[in-house]
Amino acid sequence: MKALNIIRYIFLTLRPKQWTKNLLIFAALIFSQNLTHGYFDTAVILGFIIFCIISGSVYTLNDLVDVKKDRLHPKKAKRPIASGQLPIPYAILSFFFFSISGIIAAFQLEENFGWVVIIYFVFQILYTFIVKNIVILDIFVIAIGFVLRVVAGAAIITVPISNWLLVCTLFLSLFLALGKRRFELIKMDKKAAETRAALKEYNVQLLDQMITVVTSATVVAYSIYTLSPETITKFGTKNLMYTIPFVLYGVFRYLYLIYQKETGGYPEEILVSDIPLIIGILLYAFAVWFIIY
């Protein structure tokens, strides 16, 4: 029974709820019009699993490094390492096992994918030990992590990906990261800096202005992407522009959740719990599929 509990806590430390972020790996598969290609589908699914393993190992390392600060946080204190349910030696072994296994599997799947995984892993290590304490740079490294997921998906099936799509991903991920920082700052109040050093350099007004910039940039960048000659030539249609309202709704809905409901601290949970947002995402996905395929 004890062994089963250890395995369960190791799995929870990999933060499976956060694996929804890794779905960005499928972006290149969808927008390269290869979604119905059996071999590519299988390869990207395997890449998704590998990325879940790698990102999970990074979360384990992060929990090990931040264990004392996490115990001061009302929600993070319940995590297996912070709560003492997962002994630190087991957590250390878990980190090395999953990180090494994930990197080896990535290179076995596709060499370029393996190098993208290495770059992602290095960025996350830098974030864990240094960058997360540096104001503004911390959210940029988070955003780069999302962009690398998109690049990883393209590397698996060796297809080019639109620069506009990468820009859209960057802006959208900055939006999510800023929303999370705002939530932490408001909910933790004076204790915010104790759980995350960079938070003492932020204030709500600054974050609100930054959110305004990136939300506007996200919608504009996506609109330009759908209307660009490159996109129209690639898909042979101008109809991708009709997906813009779905993107607008998703952004507006998330802003509503941040400002009216005072959520936004855990985007991975919102994406699987907020019914209107889920419906909006599904309608967007259906519209893209219908137009492209």
pLDDT digits (tens, 9 = 90+) for 65-96: 988 888 877 788 888 998 889 999 999 999 99
Is it the case that residue 249 has pLDDT exceeding 90? Answer: yes
Mean pLDDT calculated for residue range 138-142: 94
The predicted pLDDT at position 165 comes to: 87
Is it the case that residue 121 has pLDDT exceeding 60? Answer: yes
Specify the residue for token string 């960057």. Answer: 170
Mean per-residue pLDDT of the chain? 90
The predicted pLDDT at position 195 comes to: 63
pLDDT-derived band at 205 (thresholds 50, 70, 90) equals: very high
44, 153 contact by CB (below 8 A): yes
pLDDT-derived band at 44 (thresholds 50, 70, 90) equals: very high
78, 52 contact by CB (below 8 A): no
222, 169 contact by CB (below 8 A): no
pLDDT-derived band at 190 (thresholds 50, 70, 90) equals: low
In order of 51, 110, 151, the CA distances from 103 in angstroms are 9, 11, 16
pLDDT > 90: percent of the chain = 67
Q: Which residues contact residue 239 at a Cβ distance below 8 angstroms, ignoring those fewer than 6 apart? A: 291
The predicted pLDDT at position 248 comes to: 96
Is it the case that residue 118 has pLDDT exceeding 80? Answer: yes
Torsion-angle region of residue 83: left (phi > 0), alpha (psi -120 to 50) or beta? alpha
The predicted pLDDT at position 193 comes to: 59
The correct answer on CATH 1.10.357.140 for the domain covering 1-161 is yes
pLDDT > 70: percent of the chain = 96
Gap between the Cα atoms of 22 and 66, Å rounded: 23
173, 142 contact by CB (below 8 A): yes
Mean pLDDT calculated for residue range 202-218: 93
Say which residue, 131 or 262, is predicted with more confidence.
131
In 3-state terms, what secondary structure has residue 214?
A: helix
Gap between the Cα atoms of 114 and 95, Å rounded: 18
* pTM of the full structure: 0.90
Return the percent helix, strand and coil in the chain, to nearest 5: 85, 0, 15
DSSP 201: G
Mean pLDDT calculated for residue range 146-174: 93
Domains of the chain, by residue range, sit at 1-161, 163-293
Is it the case that residue 243 has pLDDT exceeding 60? Answer: yes
Q: What is the dihedral of CA 93, 8, 142, 97, to 10 degrees?
A: 20
The predicted pLDDT at position 198 comes to: 74
